[in-house]
Amino acid sequence: MEKLNLPQVQFKTKQLGGKAQVFDDVRKKYVALTPEEWVRQHFIHFLINEQKFSAGLVAVEMLVKVNDLSQRADIVLYNRKGKPVIIVECKAPSVPITRAVFNQAARYNTMLKVEYLIVTNGLQHFCAKLLDESGNHELLKAIPMADEIYK
């Protein structure tokens, strides 16, 4: 897999039916190791180990109903009161981060009402703080640390 613009992680992997799988520490199971999963797993470890978010407050591939359609948010971070505060949308490294990727995360936010949206392809990471319900936002220079979110 491609080297990412994230700290390196030693993952538990295995082969199943000739296909690579990686152990997801949050979901507590092996999942198919696709390029998008490679990014998702690195970003989860980055959020927990570098940004100091609690692993117990992380949901992975969370079901979100938008306009009666079932979709899955890649990563949702919660505060200590159980309220979602950050949505992370992960893409494979070959997928450019465009407005459409932000729009995908914003669609999930119509239901979750978080304050921050993050999009990443493992090479580029963008974090926006939502300023109001109209979608006005501020692009941040850095991804916030957990203590900034949990205060």
- Domain residue limits, the chain: 13-150
- The token pair that represents 130 in the structure block: 């939502």
Rounded CA-CA distance 31/22 in Å is 6
Give just the sign of the alpha carbon dihedral 64, 88, 2, 27: negative
Give just the sign of the alpha carbon dihedral 88, 92, 96, 101: negative
Q: Which residue has the tokens 């979110």?
A: 149
Tens of pLDDT, residue by residue, the chain (151 residues): 889 999 999 999 999 999 999 999 999 999 999 999 999 999 999 999 999 999 999 999 887 887 788 888 899 999 989 999 999 999 999 999 998 888 888 888 878 889 999 999 999 999 999 887 776 789 999 999 999 987 6
Q: Return the CATH number of the domain spanning residue range 13-150.
A: 3.90.1570.30
pTM of the model: 0.92
